[in-house]
Amino acid sequence: MKKLSFLLLCIICTGVSAAQAHKTINMTRKDFIEKVMDYEKGTDKWIYRGDKPCIIDFYTTWCGPCKRLAPILEELAAEYEGEIYIYKVDTEREPELAGLFGIRSIPTLLFCPMEGTPQMSRGLMPKETLVKAIEEVFGIKKEAPATK
């Protein structure tokens, strides 16, 4: 309860509304093992551990395209809240995870469906392309906003 009160106080003091609070989730190696896949078990088979599909953004803090992608991912995390997770892995802080997936260019996105093989996409993509990928990989289609 104290943590929640502190978070709300921080949001109020910084002038950030709850709707603007970060929806993407920073991920460590430990988080990855718990929430995505336990690669330490030595299995060659991909077994996703999450309860919703996820997108994992492999990025670095100094990368220009990564910085341009970040607000797009925040928007998508808010729009698809409760349907997918969007995780962020800083490749400089988590080189083991970057190596596990052979990350050589950033940003790189890993789309992890509930069943089946994950799919990887490299480079900056516009929001429309990401929405299409979410529809195709995860089978989640958003209603088009009503026009006036």
Catalytic residues, by residue number, are 63, 66
**Maximum pairwise Cα distance, the chain:** 55
Structure token pair of residue 143? 């209603």
Buried b (16+ CB within 10 A) or exposed e, 96-117: ebbeebebeebbbbbbbbeeee
Residues 6+ apart with CB under 8 A from 74: 22, 23, 24
3-state secondary structure of 56: strand
How many of the other CB atoms lie within 10 Å of CB of 60? Answer: 15
